[in-house]
Chain A
Amino acid sequence: EILLTQSPATLSLSPGERATLSCRASQTVSTYLAWYQHRPGQAPRLLIYSASNRATGIPARFSGSGSGTDFTLTISSLEPEDFAVYYCQQRFDWPVTFGPGTKLDIK
């Protein structure tokens, strides 16, 4: 099973600031990695797929990069609605695995 680790566990920032979230895989996942946003009381929302492609309707302030074992989600300028938990997920191998999440909260 491919393990995903995320850092930091919690990130405290202010609206307008830039957020950089990391995800590391225990073995290569090529670019078969996604990022999801999860707000309380809502279903998770796909933000980025295949490491760097924005899903439909996702604002341009969200971007993803990386390949192999190291990945980054960047939010260029935080909006109030961006404060949530972010998970990475690999779809390179089965079983599907998620990272433990990064909580982005308001400073």
Chain B
Amino acid sequence: AQKITQTQPGMFVQEKEAVTLDCTYDTSDQSYGLFWYKQPSSGEMIFLIYQGSYDEQNATEGRYSLNFQKARKSANLVISASQLGDSAMYFCAMREVNPSGGGADGLTFGKGTHLIIQP
């Protein structure tokens, strides 16, 4: 079974500072994907960044980067130069790669981190 742990229920960060949101995972699968989503108060789950278990380079998307440490089973999200609009819930999630090459599989989510950016 897969499990995602986010140990920071809430964080306060000054605007323009960098912030790291922690995520550790547990799985017996060899092939899997790790995801980060942002959920503003409106409720929509917005995809931010993806890291494949076999990717050697850490994923980056604009101000978002994923610090992937496979041996430690951690996939921390780093947001550089934080902005007031970054205030939201952030969820780490994972899913296995379907070994048969087809079908679909749901995401396993962590409990989330509530990030508040202060001016």
Decide whether A and B assemble into one complex: no
Contact surface of B with A, Cβ cutoff 8 Å: none
